[in-house]
Amino acid sequence: MAVETTIGELRWKEVIGVSDGSRLGYVEDLEVELDSGRVRALVVPGRRRLFGLLGREPDCRIPWDWVRRFGEDYILVERAPNARLSRGKKR
């Protein structure tokens, strides 16, 4: 049985790293391959620095193949060994 979700519903799910339990943030956007319509990555906004007064860190791009499980309130991701999260443009 396939379960469907919308991008709007994904925005309410927290992304958590399986290996260390790190809380990476909430999904803000998806990176989609337009030709095939496949999701390539989840985009989580960068953390605020000093309550947002000093801006924020660059956004975090989480490759789709790192996603392991979707729950009601969370998305579990597992990094490939020795892989680092890529950071996008600053906001």
pLDDT tens sequence for the chain (91 residues):
556 777 788 888 999 999 888 888 999 888 999 999 898 999 988 777 676 567 777 888 899 999 999 888 999 999 765 566 666 654 4
pLDDT value of residue 21: 87
Backbone φ and ψ of 80, nearest 5°: -70, 150
Structure tokens at 63: 């490759």
pLDDT value of residue 87: 66
Is the separation of the CB atoms in 66 and 81 below 8 Å? no
7-87, which class in CATH? Answer: mainly beta
Structure tokens at 70: 């979707």
pLDDT value of residue 86: 63
pTM greater than the 0.85 cutoff: no
